[in-house]
Structure 1
Amino acid sequence: MKIIRSKEFTASRPWGALDIANMNGITTRLHWTDQPYKWHVNDGEEIFAVLDGRVEMRYRLDGQENSTILDTGDIFYASVGTEHVAHPIGEARILVIESAGSV
């Protein structure tokens, strides 16, 4: 059993993570960041839930770049093949659920 106070979590580097669970090859991790990630495509599907802060999520559909602002409580679902990059607006804490070992 674990109780995690997500608003209290910080990492020593941007996108540092706290591993919460690995359930049959699906990982759940809490990330802290104040810096953008990198453009990437996950090996599978990804759930990206903003627990604290705001994030500008950029993504490409049919070669065209799009953007949306995710507030606390918002969720971004990246289907297989969705190219995307997260840009926090200040500090953010994000719950990410994805296949183990995914980018």
Structure 2
Amino acid sequence: MSENPINLQSVLDGFDAVWSPRIVDTVNDYDIRLARFAGEHVWHVHEDTDEFFLVLDGEIEIGLREPAGERVVTVARGSVFVVPRGTFHKPSSKAGAAVLLVEPTGTLSVGDQHEEVPDHVDVTVGHRV
């Protein structure tokens, strides 16, 4: 936990890698992460945790595989969306986006199960700033 305020824009200005989240702080056992989205991530699932998305800039799409079939949720700047645990999902952004995520510390960016990970996706539990 930080003892001083953290300027999120300064953190975002400090990296340009997409799909490579930065851990800006920790609350209890949860990481507060910043990530840049561009293009497509990978279909994946977090079996034991929900995943919180807050779009700071741009717009993202999240593909969801649900019992009723697949659907896509568009999350605009200033909006939040939570993917429920156990739901396969695939984030993407056509024009690029900056996103704040909240996940339990140690959560892998490609979940517990995933399809083949392309080179542009960083398989990580986050990089501390």
**Distance between the aligned counterparts of 2:31 and 2:89, measured in 1?**
19
- Paired amino acid for 1:87: S
TM-score (norm 2): 0.70
- Describe the shift of the 1:20–1:8 C-alpha distance in structure 2 as closer, same or farther (beyond 3 A): closer
Return the alpha-carbon distance in structure 2 between the equivalents of residues 57 and 6 of structure 1: 26
Partner residue in 2 for 1:3: 7
Distance 1:44 1:35 in 2: 24
Q: 2:95 aligns with which of 83, 90, 98?
A: 90
TM norm structure 1 = 0.86
In structure 1, the gaps of 5 or more residues are none
Which of the two has higher C-alpha Rg? Answer: 2
Q: Provide the identity percentage.
A: 26
**Equivalent AA in structure 1 for residue 45 of structure 2:** V
SS class of match (1:60): strand
Residue 18 (structure 2) pairs with residue 14 (structure 1):
yes
How many residues align structurally?
Answer: 103
Task: Confirm or deny that 1:56 pairs with 2:61.
Answer: yes
Q: Give the root-mean-square deviation of aligned CA atoms.
A: 2.0
CA distance in 1, matches of 2:22, 2:8: 10
Q: Is the aligned partner of 1:40 residue 2:49?
A: no
| Equivalent residue in structure 2 for 1:65, among 49, 60, 70 | 70
One-letter identity of the residue aligned with 1:3: N
CA distance in 2: counterparts of 1:95 and 1:58, whole angstroms: 18
More moved, 34-43 vs 11-20: 11-20
